[in-house]
C-alpha cells in the first residue's frame, strides 16, 4: 500500500531528507514518496495533515516546538525536551517523537569512542540544543554543561564573552548548534577562544554542509578532533523511519 511521508519547515530548499528518503525508497523497492512541505506558519499544518496516504512527517526549523499543540500524544523523550522532529500518523492519532536524540547520541559515542567526558560546552540555544543537552545530561550523565548564548538566563548559561574565562580542560567537548558557517555563508564562525583548545578536545558541529565548517577548521588548527553533523543526520533519519514503521 502506497504511503506518503515528508518534511515540514519554513525554508526547505537545501533539504537533505527528500533526497535521502527518495533514494532509500527506490533502492529498497518501498511503495512510498517523500515530499517537502514549506509552511509559512504552523497554522497551515491543520490542512496539511489531511493529505491522502500521509503516514509520517519530519519537522525542522522553526516548528519543532510549535507543532506540539497539534499532536495527540508525545513519546516520553519528546515530552521531556518539548521538541518534536518526527510525527507518526497512527489510527487517527498524531504521535510526536524526537529522533535527533538518537542521531546525536550514536554519532557522539562513535566520535569520542565512548570516552568518559567531564564536561561540555554547547554553542547556541536554539531548537537543536534541547536534544543535545538531553543526551549529555540524561544519556551520558555529564553534570558540567555550559550553554553559550547571547542572553544568558539561567545558571548553566554563559555569554560568549565569558567563554574565555572557562578552564577548557574541564570541558573537553565543544558542540556547535548554531547555524553559523552553514552553506552558503560558509565563512561565518561562532565566537570561541579556539587558541585554548588542544588535542584533548572534541569539536562537534551539527552542520553538515560544508563538510568541514569554519568552526571545525578553527578547532583543528589547535589540535582538537573534529566532526560534522552528517552521521547525526543519517542516524536521525533512520530512527524516524523506525518510528514510522513500529
Active site residue 93: no
Distance in angstroms (rounded) separating the CA atoms of residues 21 and 214? 29
Give the up-direction half-sphere exposure of residue 66: CA atoms within 13 A in the CB hemisphere.
16
Distance in angstroms (rounded) separating the CA atoms of residues 122 and 145? 7
Phi, psi of 57 (to 5 degrees): -135, 150
Beta-bridged to residue 8, according to DSSP, are 37, 59
| Catalytic annotation, pick one of 11, 47, 64, 143 | 64
Reference 109, options 88, 136, 73, 90; nearest CA is: 136
CA 233 to chain centre: 7
Catalytic positions, written as ranges: 64
Amino acid at each position: 500500500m502506497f504511503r506518503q511521508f515528508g518534511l515540514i519547515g519554513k525554508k526547505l530548499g537545501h533539504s537533505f531528507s527528500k533526497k535521502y528518503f527518495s533514494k532509500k525508497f527506490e533502492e529498497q523497492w518501498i511503495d512510498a514518496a517523500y515530499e517537502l512541505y514549506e509552511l509559512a506558519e504552523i497554522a497551515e499544518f491543520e490542512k496539511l495533515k489531511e493529505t491522502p496516504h500521509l503516514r509520517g512527517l519530519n519537522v525542522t526549523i522553526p516548528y519543532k516546538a510549535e507543532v506540539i499543540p497539534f499532536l495527540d500524544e508525545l513519546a516520553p523523550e519528546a515530552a521531556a525536551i518539548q521538541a518534536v522532529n518526527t510525527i507518526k500518523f497512527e489510527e487517527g492519532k498524531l504521535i510526536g517523537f524526537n529522533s535527533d536524540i538518537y542521531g546525536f547520541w550514536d554519532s557522539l559515542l562513535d566520535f569520542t569512542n565512548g570516552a568518559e567526558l567531564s564536561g561540555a560546552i554547547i554553542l547556541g540555544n536554539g531548537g537543536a540544543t534541547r536534544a543535545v543537552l538531553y543526551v549529555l545530561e540524561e544519556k551520558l550523565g555529564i553534570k558540567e554543561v555550559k550553554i553559550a548564548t547571547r542572553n544568558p538566563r539561567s545558571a548553566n548559561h554563559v555569554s560568549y564573552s565569558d567563554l574565555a574565562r572557562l578552564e577548557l580542560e574541564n570541558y573537553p567537548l565543544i558542540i556547535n548548534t548554531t547555524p553559523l558557517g552553514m552553506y552558503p555563508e560558509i565563512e561565518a564562525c561562532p565566537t570561541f577562544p579556539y587558541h585554548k583548545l588542544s588535542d584533548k578536545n572534541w569539536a562537534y558541529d551539527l552542520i553538515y554542509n560544508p563538510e568541514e565548517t569554519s568552526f571545525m577548521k578553527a578547532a583543528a588548527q589547535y589540535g582538537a578532533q573534529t566532526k560534522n553533523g552528517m552521521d547525526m543526520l543519517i542516524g536521525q533519519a533512520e530512527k524516524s523511519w523506525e518510528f514510522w514503521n513500529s
